[in-house]
Chains A and B, each alone.
Chain A
Amino acid sequence: MSLLMTLRIAFKALGRNKLRTALTMLGMIIGVAAVIAMVALGSGAQAMIEEQVRSTGTNLITISPGSFNMGGVRGGGGTSTRLTPEDAEALREIPEIEYVSESAGTRSQVIYSNQNWNTQIEGVNIDLPLIRSWQVQYGTFFTAEDVKSAAKVCVLGANVADNLFGEGVDPTDVQIRIRNQPFKVLGVMTRKGASGGGQNQDDQVFAPYTTVIKKLSGQQNINRIFAASRTADELSSAAAAVTAALRIRHGIEPGDTDDFMVQTQDDIVALRTQTASTMSSLLMGIAAVSLLVGGIGIMNIMLVSVTERTREIGLRMAIGARGFDVLLQFLIEAVVISLAGGLVGIGVGYLASEGIKVYMQSPTLIPPDAIIIAVGFSAAVGIFFGFYPARKAAGLDPIEALRFE
């Protein structure tokens, strides 16, 4: 019998018991919809993380002080403050590194007229806008000359500017006060949103790091060094070169642990993604279980169907159907149920993910390969769970089957 004919017979047989077919399909629909919705949620979170991290600069390498280690006594992360402007200077010699910026921060109140705002004063170098691919909206960034002379100039984050001057106001050349010292506003950065770490990047004030060290925080060392590799491909080799250079500068013997940490954007993405993917694989597990339940439902109903139609099977065999013809007939019925259920499930899953997007304000994204996998998987469920009942039908003895009451 031709495949087309078998397909037609399958549709006819399923049409005879519409309610039962629909209920069996419902198991698959729920299973596939759950998988699609969970995948959409997981990929949406993933995409959001990647987007946030990208907004802080793709080729970014962050060097921060590691744990303090002396005579076997180990401090926690950040207890060593052994990052100096000279370290930063050394990194500028590495060929894979394109930009380097020192970073020294402190929190302080900033005051303009009768407005004030508590924010992060971030002391950086002139490469920072290049490292973070971040432009100024108003005015200009400070210059190498400002850094050299530790000039009292600053560039505001958009949020800070809003709070001090109101939205859409260009405060260039205005004087503000930080720790009772007048700072000249050179410009305002464009809006950037939340960083990969979740902080609001627009809520900070940039000033030359020399100014922050000498006039605000009073520290000798710098908190962190930001660097950017030339290309994304060179990121890991650049990070390795940074590690090697700093180990030599800090006199760390081979085998000893670093007293600094080198993190690339890939590391940060991986760290953040891990949390998201643990969550989504948990949800995927639940979804897979419901798909399994759907499959068992199909097997159950196909077994009932084989028993009910024993006489029909006997007749078909008597008039010339081979075991294979019968096997195919029932297998195709199972696959039609599971595949149709899968297709409807994709639609329901899509609607569910749109619902999640609107009502839970979670980003969702359905990757195209998830749809292909869902279709393939539902067909596979039909074949897997339909095979046993179909084989049972094909193995019937025609004489017994014809006598069946």
Chain B
Amino acid sequence: MPVISVKNLTKIYVVGEIEVRALRGVSLDVEAGEFVAVTGPSGSGKSTFMHIVGCLDRPTTGEYHLDGRDVSKLSKDDLANVRNSKIGFVFQGFNLLSRTTALDNVELPLLYMRKNGLRSAERHKRAMAALEAVNLTDRFHHYPNQLSGGQQQRVAIARSLINEPSILLADEPTGNLDTRTSIEVMGIFQRLNKERGITVLLITHEADIAEYGTRLIRFRDGRVVTDQKVLHRRNAADELAALPPPEPDQIAPPEHEGEAAH
């Protein structure tokens, strides 16, 4: 059974008197354990597709089964529950809460768990485990403005992992990062995908970043134009090993300081 199964997905926005047809019939399946890169120029519908897959929005018509459950017609609150338990988000701008430690940021989704809320000791344990998965346990008490961009994005990845979601949705996760840090972050996605079998959906407009995935889906004008296996898949771990060692004690570049959500 595929993790994601969409059929004839359409989305029509009405802006004033103009109808914008953002999706014009998208059908595809994603199996568990795939690493899918979704690309396309802006306005191609990839963002709309991601919002629907991420249960942030509902399709105008069509079906969307997540883990075998039809989620295309759920209420807002039910969608919030699905997002909480089945989907992990990683954003371009990290979206960490400022003046909140890495550990507390990672714990945040646990606070919105609907059923049997966890005790704080259990929450800490799980948050530490998630930070361990991104190699950031030593920075758990740091605030976002004390972390580099790459470290902030790793905290965000840890946060997306905390509820053991069915899919990990990464929306331009390297958009604010330099090349080396981008490779590091992609390395984490590849490792989580390979070692834990986590299904990753990566939205990017950068063709070279898309090559870290196993499957490439290209959008144009609200439709899927190509859907193929990545032939020459890049391996972040190998590339990192080939790069010269990083300068010691990398500090967050100034432009990242205001990036965390206020």
Contacts and interface: CB of A to CB of B under 8 A. Distances in A.
Interface of A: 1-2, 5, 12, 16, 308-309, 311-312, 314-325, 398-399, 402
B111 interface: yes
Interface of B: 51, 54, 56-57, 76-77, 80-81, 83-85, 89, 91, 93, 95, 97-100, 108-109, 111-113, 117, 159, 163, 261-262
A308 B262 contact: yes
A324 B145 CA distance: 30
B83 A318 contact: yes
Given A311-B95, A399-B57, A320 B117 contact: no
A320 B81 contact: yes
A331 to B, nearest CB: 17
A324 B163 CA distance: 21
Nearest to B78: A322
Nearest to A311: B261
A357 to B, nearest CB: 45
B261 A319 contact: no
A378 to B, nearest CB: 27
A1 B261 contact: no
B80 A399 contact: no
Contact of B261 (A16, A315, A399): A315
B141 to A, nearest CB: 15
Given A1-B111, A308-B262, A320 B84 contact: yes
A399 B49 CA distance: 12
A52 B99 CA distance: 61
A20 to B, nearest CB: 13
A316 B54 contact: no
Given A1-B112, A325-B112, A402-B91, A318 B81 contact: no
Interface SS of chain A: helix, strand, loop or mixed? helix
B56 A318 contact: yes
14 contacts: A1-B111, A2-B117, A309-B261, A315-B91, A315-B97, A316-B112, A318-B95, A319-B84, A319-B112, A320-B80, A320-B81, A320-B85, A323-B76, A323-B80
Contacts of A315: 91, 95, 97, 261
Nearest to B111: A1
A62 B30 CA distance: 97
Contacts of A402: 91, 95
B57 A317 contact: no
Most buried by B among A314, A319, A321: A319
Contacts of A322: 76-77, 80-81, 112
A324 B51 CA distance: 21
A319 B262 CA distance: 16
Given A319-B83, A322-B76, 8 more contacts: A5-B111, A314-B261, A316-B108, A318-B83, A319-B108, A320-B80, A320-B112, A322-B81
B89 A318 contact: yes
B80 A317 contact: yes
Nearest to B108: A319
Nearest to A9: B111
A283 B117 CA distance: 50
B112 A321 contact: yes
Contacts of A318: 54, 56, 83, 89, 95
A320 B56 contact: no
A229 B226 CA distance: 104
Most buried by B among A308, A316, A324: A316
A319 B56 contact: no
Contacts of A5: 111
